[in-house]
Amino acid sequence: MAERFLVGAGVGSGVAHGKAFVLARPEAALAQISKPGNRIGLIAIQKAMLSVAEDLENVTTVGDAKDVMMALAMILRDPVLFDVVKAHLSEGAEAADALRRAFARFARQLEALGGYFAERAPDLGYLANRVIAELAGDLPPVEFPSEPFILVSDSISPMDAAKLDPNRVLAVITTDGTPTSHSAIIVRAAKLPMVVGLIGAGLIRTGSDLLVDANAGQVFLDPTIERIEHYSTAANLDTQVIRLLEDDREAPVTLLANLGSSFEAAGALAAGAKGVGLFRTELLYLGQQEPPTRAEQFAEYSNLLAAFTGKRVLVRVLDLDFDKPLPFLREAGTGKYANRGLQVLLANPEVLETQLSALAQAQAANPKTELWVMAPMVLSVAEALQFAEMARAASLKKVGVMIEVPEVTEPGVIEGIIDAVDFISIGTNDLTHYALGKSRHVAGDGAVSGTISLSETRKPEVLNLIRRVITAANAAGKPVGICGESASDPESAKLFIALGADSLSASSALLPQLKAALLA
Ligand code: PEP
Ligand code: MG
């Protein structure tokens, strides 16, 4: 049979060769529960949600996987989510439909947050499936092959990912999902090669011969003898990654990692990150009725700082807007930036002060880590001054802001902002969208409006704004880094360095390749 070459997104590293086992979805059980006339009441739904939550809490696992299970269980116990299910039921929706719509709404809120959170959204789909399957009763047990196999599935839930036996499963392939979903984090932690979003996975049958290259996100269906030999020689991908990591030449700029939770620290260090260039703190606040306490925040920041002793960690204070409703925040601003960025925090000073104080406490407990604290989406010099004053009053030493809107790159404004702070970070995701007049938000019907590709940051109208910011920061002798997704795009990264950026921050998984491209 001729070899076929299929492409997806790789998770972690490693190569596996073996026979496929294709897992079917429990469609029949789901269809049965959705049948008109088969109405299932609120109590049964609540029981099913709590039972899945308990199941998650009782999964015997540790570390990253345990954190994921607990986070998902918390979502299921969220009374706001249950209220939405209830509302759909009272409008006459069937149980499965009510659950799907409520979970989809929660997922859209995550998507609207962009970046890291958007990649968490698929977990909500798995959770809905799991609750519906629970309502449908026991599914027929799956008969797995006795020999080790490569698991092929549309998707894999974080709970199922945590239960994978690395002695029996050689690798995991899914047609859905993203490399930074909870499931992917768990599979990577189990050191299993994984490829998600595989195009053409429909060609794979149970028993198909597969060679999975997780580092390159490639799958060979019916690989040739030469291909198998190639991968089993010293040139295999594992060795290449180790070579990249052991390359002791320094990259031309500091390469940092973007993280959304302290449990991702180990992966960032293993990928060679010199520190953290963007720690998104939104996960602490999301889905809460009250802001997290200083003690809760301290625990998370302290874990993060402890993992990066001797290194630099840039934490961004809360960046939420009212497309991502949080009950404890007052609205702020008007126009296209209404309820976005730093202005929301300045309108809610008690929330900002608690966060700054928790950060200062974490710094005091971890004096060997260099904590830099920055605010999202600054809109004026006055805002930058106000934030810097509050952060310094909280005893934070390195204070910065993110440049994410075109207006603040104007001559006169950018110099004033740089003067007010110690460093600058350019958020190319938002800056590119706003410079090109597109929205990052998800429309009410779930359609994503105005999505852009990474290369659009290289358009002259965007690059000129970035150039202005970098030039002004260089002239003032203050550090300036890039932490949007385009920092991981080698072509863009080289341009940013040529313009004078001194650090790039990207997803951990992409750092080894980024370093290699910059040194090539
Ligand atoms: C950005 O806008 O480039 C950025 C890094 O922030 P976020 O993706 O979290 O909005
Ligand atoms: Mg942003």
Burial environment of residue 347 by CB neighbours within 10 A (0 to 12, 13 to 18, 19 or more): middle
Could you give the residue numbers annotated as active site? 182, 483
Ligand 2 centroid from CA 430, angstroms: 5
- Look at the domain 27-136 and name its fold: Enzyme I; Chain A, domain 2 (1.10.274)
Q: Pairing state of beta strands 254-259 and 9-11?
A: unpaired
Cβ 480 vs Cβ 500: under 8 Å: yes
| pLDDT, position 444 | 32
CATH number of 253-519: 3.20.20.60
| pLDDT, position 422 | 98
Query: CA end-to-end span of the chain, whole Å?
Result: 37
Does 103 have pLDDT greater than 60?
yes
| pLDDT, position 486 | 87
Q: Which amino acid is at 473?
A: A
Token duo for residue 495 = 């341009």
| Measured CA angle at 67 (ends 486, 160), to 5 deg | 90
Does 141 have pLDDT greater than 90?
no
Cβ 411 vs Cβ 436: under 8 Å: no
Rounded (10°) CA dihedral 346, 350, 355, 361:
130
Which residue among 258, 462, 483 is best mutated to probe the pocket of ligand 1, counting the most ligand atoms within 8 A of its Cβ? 483
Residues with Cβ within 8 Å of residue 145, at least 6 apart in sequence: 19, 21
Does 439 have pLDDT greater than 70?
no
Q: How far apart are CA 177 and CA 196, in angstroms?
A: 6
User: Is the shortest distance between the CB of 277 and ligand 1 below 6 Å?
Assistant: no
Atom of ligand 1 nearest to the CA of 115: 8
Residue entry with tokens 């060609």: 203
| pLDDT, position 234 | 38
Ligand 1 centroid from CA 431, angstroms: 9
Q: Please name every residue paired with 463 in a beta bridge, in sequence order, or none if there are none.
A: none
Reported as a single tens digit per residue, the pLDDT across 266-278 is 778 888 899 999 9
List b or e across 131-157, with b for residues whose CB sees 16 or more CB atoms inside 10 angstroms. bbbbbbeeeeeeeeeeebbbbbbebbb
Cβ neighbours around 111 below 10 Å, total: 23
What number is the average pLDDT over the span 70-85?
Answer: 88
| Measured CA angle at 117 (ends 351, 307), to 5 deg | 75
DSSP state of 251: P
Ligand 2 centroid from CA 255, angstroms: 19
Does 373 have pLDDT greater than 90?
yes
Q: Calculate the alpha carbon distances from 115 to 65, 111, 256, 350, 397 in Å.
A: 21, 8, 16, 26, 28
What is the number of residues in the chain? 520
User: In which element (H, E) is residue 211 found?
Assistant: strand 209-213
| pLDDT, position 71 | 81
Does 106 have pLDDT greater than 80?
yes
Q: Is the pTM of this model over 0.75?
A: no
Residue 185's SS3 state is: helix
Query: Mean pLDDT in the chain?
Result: 84
Q: How many helices (H) and strands (E) does the chain have?
A: 21, 16
108 versus 304: which is more confidently predicted?
A: 304
Token duo for residue 396 = 């934070």
Q: How far apart are CA 144 and CA 444, in angstroms?
A: 41
| pLDDT, position 63 | 66
Q: Please name every residue paired with 424 in a beta bridge, in sequence order, or none if there are none.
A: 401, 480
| pLDDT, position 19 | 94
Residue 324's SS3 state is: coil
Which of 108-112, 181-185, 332-336, 505-509 has the lowest average pLDDT?
Answer: 181-185
What number is the average pLDDT over the span 278-291?
Answer: 80
From the CA of 482, the nearest ligand is 1
Which of 15-19, 217-221, 321-325, 448-452 has the lowest average pLDDT?
Answer: 448-452
Which of 83-92, 223-232, 372-381 has the lowest average pLDDT?
Answer: 223-232
Protein residue with its CA nearest to atom 9 in ligand 1? 115
Ligand 1 centroid from CA 428, angstroms: 7
Q: How far apart are CA 68 and CA 71, in angstroms?
A: 5
Reported as a single tens digit per residue, the pLDDT across 170-199 is 999 998 777 666 677 778 777 788 988 888
Domain boundaries, the chain: 4-26+141-213, 27-136, 253-519
Q: Please name every residue paired with 221 in a beta bridge, in sequence order, or none if there are none.
A: 4, 210
Q: How far apart are CA 214 and CA 264, in angstroms?
A: 19
| Measured CA angle at 492 (ends 487, 493), to 5 deg | 50
Ligand 1 centroid from CA 427, angstroms: 5
381 versus 439: which is more confidently predicted?
A: 381
CATH ID of 4-26+141-213, from 3.40.50.720, 3.60.110.10, 2.10.109.10, 3.50.30.10: 3.50.30.10
Q: Pairing state of beta strands 169-174 and 423-426?
A: unpaired
Which residue among 340, 402, 489, 503 is best mutated to probe the pocket of ligand 1, counting the most ligand atoms within 8 A of its Cβ? 402
| pLDDT, position 497 | 97
| pLDDT, position 38 | 52
What number is the average pLDDT over the span 294-311?
Answer: 95
Does 281 have pLDDT greater than 90?
no
DSSP string covering 54-89: HHHHH----HHHHHHHHHHHHHHT-HHHHHHHHHHH
Cβ neighbours around 84 below 10 Å, total: 19
Which residue among 404, 424, 436, 442 is best mutated to probe the pocket of ligand 1, counting the most ligand atoms within 8 A of its Cβ? 404
Q: At 17, give phi and psi (nearest 5°).
A: -130, 130
| pLDDT, position 456 | 87
User: Is the shortest distance between the CB of 115 and ligand 1 below 6 Å?
Assistant: yes
Does 81 have pLDDT greater than 60?
yes
Max mean pLDDT range (138-147, 155-164, 306-315): 306-315
